Amino acid sequence: MGKPRILLALFALCVILEPCYSYGQYRSLRRMFQGLKASMPSEADPGKPLFLTPYLKAGEVEKARELSLVGPLPGANVKSYSGYLTVNETHNSNLFFWFFPAQVQPESAPVLLWLQGGPGGTSMFGLFVEHGPYVVNQNLTLAVRKFPWTSKYSMLYIDNPVGTGFSFTDEKGYARNEDDVGRDLYSALIQFFQIFYEYQKNDFYATGESYAGKYVPAIGYYIHIHNPAAKIKLNFKGVAIGDGLCDPEVMLGGYAEFMYQSGLVDEKQKQYVQQQTALGVIYIQKKKWIEAFDVFDSLLNGDRTSYSSFYQNVTGCTNYFNFLQCQEPPDQEYFGKFLSLPEVRKAIHVGNLTFHDGSEVEKHLLEDVMKTIKPWLAVLMDNYRVRSFALQGDILVSASL
């Protein structure tokens, strides 16, 4: 991944707001290749989805904001806004956002976009499990998080790309590469900053983790290219990437040693990992993207395979986001049920729309997974602040890779 420039402003994300190690416990990336299912309500009234683009087009900005104000939620409430931004009319592509102004000095606090990984992981994971102002209790009420990123930053959570979580599109609108991802996100950001215009002047950062190691450079690069000629300028300052999958060809080489040094595999198993990752690299060099993906998948995720992964077989663990926790903590799944509650759906303006588990998104991006984003990341490093952070215990996209 090269040498990311470390800078203090974003370092604060980790150190001041939440000590990296303690948040490691819950910081697990949104599953790299699995989504979350949240069923749809049937009985009570979930309200109607709110599409803001028509209001923006009609010049009714104040109305758009007013309508997007999130209604009462069970348990705890902080001021926030949510709704849909239409990013591609041809394919009825709509991105769902949930925006939390900073709790302190929102008028000058940086605005951070947060993108989960996947492909197809909902950013509601980041919101409810990692750093948003809310945590979901087992009884499906909300409590406030002790050290949310929203205490110092305005947070914009977007379900990205279209087809992820509450975001949706038709069959032809799915992103097939990082150009598509950047283009759709950029459209959403431009609209967002027109509706929430007073935040336009604030510093803006794109952040995310895991597979967002591709998304974050994609939107950063898209902004870099389009900002100079754009009517609405984004005050883009940089990016922060946690446990990012940015350059699989280079990263694959690190798995065997990392797993061995962590005591997860023995010498013989290490040799197998080495041999498989070397095979993955060969496929990448031959641009056999699906074959490369399948090697990686069979080794770690077991997502497309009908059998359990090598990792699962040798460790007996199903959680690969933190090797100190063999199984994923059950409280990481509460938010799925919470988002199915009709009163919650009404409050956040999604109505009865399906919450997608991201599997369609993954299918459409399968050829993209093992491709590198390095050239775009390099441009960002030359022009903006770039922070890379990682948790030691993450196996899927570990720090040492």
Residues that bind ligand NAG (CB under 6 A): 88, 90-91, 137, 139, 141, 173, 180, 183, 298, 307-310, 313, 352-354
Tell me the closest approach of the beta carbon of residue 314 to ligand NAG, in angstroms. 9
Residue 234, Cβ density class (10 Å: 0-12 exposed, 13-18 middle, ≥19 buried): buried
Least distance in Å: CB of 111 to ligand NAG? 23
How far is it, in rounded angstroms, from Cα 364 to Cα 368? Answer: 9
> Cβ contacts of residue 274 below 8 Å, gap of 6+?
256
* Pairing status of strand 93-100 against strand 81-88: antiparallel
Q: How far is the CB of 35 from ligand NAG (least distance, A)?
A: 17
- Give the residue with the Cβ less far from ligand NAG, 137 or 235: 137
Cα separation of 16 and 320, whole Å?
Answer: 27
For ligand NAG, the closer of residues 142 and 373 by Cβ is 142
Interior CA angle at 111 toward 7 and 78, to 5°?
A: 125
- Report in angstroms how near the CB of residue 46 gets to ligand NAG at its nearest: 8
Distance CA(241)–CA(4), nearest Å, equals: 10
Cis peptide before 161 (omega within 30 of 0): yes
Q: What's the CA gap between 159 and 150, in Å, rounded?
A: 18
Segment 133-139 long-range contacts (CB within 8 Å, at least 24 positions apart): 133/78, 133/80, 133/100, 133/103, 134/73, 134/76, 134/78, 136/331, 136/334, 136/335, 136/338, 137/75, 137/334, 138/331, 138/334
- CB closer to ligand NAG out of 90 and 327: 90
Backbone phi, psi, residue 87, to 5° = -110, -15
Instruction: Tell me the C-alpha distance between 260 and 279, whole Å.
Output: 19
Measured CA to CA, the distance from residue 379 to residue 348 in angstroms comes to 37
Q: How far is the CB of 177 from ligand NAG (least distance, A)?
A: 9
Residue 109: CB minimum distance to ligand NAG, A: 29
Least Å distance, CB 89 to ligand NAG, is 7
Nearer to ligand NAG, 173 or 336 (CB): 173
* Residue 235 vs 352, nearer CB to ligand NAG: 352
Q: Is the Cβ of residue 46 or residue 238 nearer to ligand NAG in the bound state?
A: 46
Q: Which CB, 91 or 233, lies closer to ligand NAG?
A: 91
Nearer to ligand NAG, 180 or 247 (CB): 180
HSE of 41, CA atoms in CB hemisphere, 13 A: 21
The least CB distance from residue 173 to ligand NAG, in Å, is 6
